[in-house]
Amino acid sequence: MSQAPFDIVVFGATSFVGQILSRYLLERYGVGGEVKWAIAGRSEAKLVTFKSGLGEAAADLPVIIADAGNEASLTEMCEQTRVVISTVGPYALYGEPLVQACVNSGTDYCDLTGEVQWIRKMIERYEEQAKVTGARIVHCCGFDSIPSDMGVYYLQQQAKAQFGEPCSTVKMRVKAAKGGLSGGTVASMINVTKEAVADPALRKELANPYSICPKDFRPARRQHNVKAAEYDEDFQAWTAPFVMGAINTRVVHRSNALQGAAYGQEFGYDEAVLTGKGLKGRAAALGVAAGLGGFLVAATIKPARWALEKFVLPKPGEGPTPKAQEEGFFDLRFVGISPKGEIIRTKVTGDRDPGYGSTGKMLGEAAMCLAFDIDTPEKRPGGFWTPASLLGQKAIDRLVANAGLRFELLENR
């Protein structure tokens, strides 16, 4: 793919996140410079209108017409670029043809899916072929799951430097976050719920913390899962379930497996939201747990789900305003405990709305890392990777330099 005219193609550029991502690439890297990139989608009219709205700076931005339902157009697009970024979801409904096209053509790929059941299917169907063609497929390059996956990677590097070994237990706690949901994220969550209601085997799979690990990776450790209000001694605060934990924990465990159990064969990891101390913190934790539980129950009942989609939740293509994205942020705290009981604390922060303003930048830098920073295919072979297992420190460097993220070692108190 080294002779391809483009380094990166944004597929689904007129989607909510696709627009944020395209604006970011334009502002950060321009058009026609060292980074050759293009926007793509199925509607030429929408792409041209969006491009016009970007202003004079985007006058020379190439446009590619490709449809998720047209195999030939996807193949032609893949043959023109080294990396494809996909923002077209729900991926379980629309994502497979592009993954297949990238795998067949040996084109690297990244996306922002959080649909663990779809990821597993893609691994089962296409990983062996990706190893042959050299395509590197990296799912979950947005808020789920880069801050968690790279946050654990960063903590373990610090632990190895301080303790000489990785931590056998790591917890991530959301200390603070401000941001909204887009219609695309809601559609993905509703689709997973629909699939789980109809398929008992899928419900069982979704409860498996190692569901996307390689089949030969079978640690015996039982993973903790924060399902209700809990008091956390390590943070001296009450916690509640974190809605993204179901995907983030799976990605982190796959990262451990793909790195040869670099965090340990019996590594433990869980995520939750910090709600505060004392009675107020407990009440908040109970409220968050009840609200999340109520949403999931409503999403399983057809009439209630219809009402949520019709009157409450944002529609596909909708999401936070630019002002809301700029005012958003996230602050994630990690604690790691070594096999000897030594403790290390770190944090990961972002300067934009986590799901959209920050996700657009994270996704863009993941693609840049794929295109320019990682080793040759001979050293980084084709297959289905995670952000931490493939991109590693190179990604952290880019995220800090360009995307408004910070990775920090905290005083141990």
Q: Confirm whether 212 is domain-assigned.
A: yes
pLDDT at 83 over 60: yes
pLDDT in the model for residue 411: 84
166 and 107, same domain (yes or no): no
Q: For 323-336, write each residue's pLDDT tens digit.
A: 888 889 999 999 99
Going edge to edge, which strands form the sheet with 63-65? 63-65, 37-41, 6-11, 81-86, 108-111, 136-138, 383-385
Contacts of 106 (CB under 8 A, 6+ apart): 1, 133, 134, 135, 382
Query: Could you tell me which residues are beta bridge partners of residue 6?
Result: 81
Percent of the chain residues past pLDDT 70, beyond the cut: 90
Q: For 45-81, write each residue's pLDDT tens digit.
A: 999 999 999 999 999 999 999 999 999 999 999 999 9
Average pLDDT of the chain?
A: 91
Write the CA distances from 413 to 158, 262, 345, 410, integer angstroms: 16, 26, 8, 8
pLDDT in the model for residue 1: 46
212 and 177, same domain (yes or no): yes
94 and 189, same domain (yes or no): no
71 and 210, same domain (yes or no): no
Q: What is the mean pLDDT of residues 303-318?
A: 60
Contacts of 370 (CB under 8 A, 6+ apart): 82, 83, 108, 110, 136, 138, 390, 391
Give the count of domains, the chain: 2
pLDDT in the model for residue 314: 62
CATH code where residue 383 lies = 3.40.50.720
Q: For 345-357, write each residue's pLDDT tens digit.
A: 999 999 999 988 9
Q: Structural domain of residue 75, as residue ranges?
A: 6-142+357-404
Q: For 186-224, write each residue's pLDDT tens digit.
A: 666 677 777 777 777 777 777 899 999 999 998 879 999
pLDDT in the model for residue 195: 75
80 and 221, same domain (yes or no): no
pLDDT at 385 over 50: yes
Q: Confirm whether 409 is domain-assigned.
A: no
* CA distance linking residue 114 with residue 109, whole number of Å: 15
Q: Confirm whether 101 is domain-assigned.
A: yes
77 and 114, same domain (yes or no): yes
pLDDT in the model for residue 325: 83
pTM of the model: 0.93
306 and 165, same domain (yes or no): yes
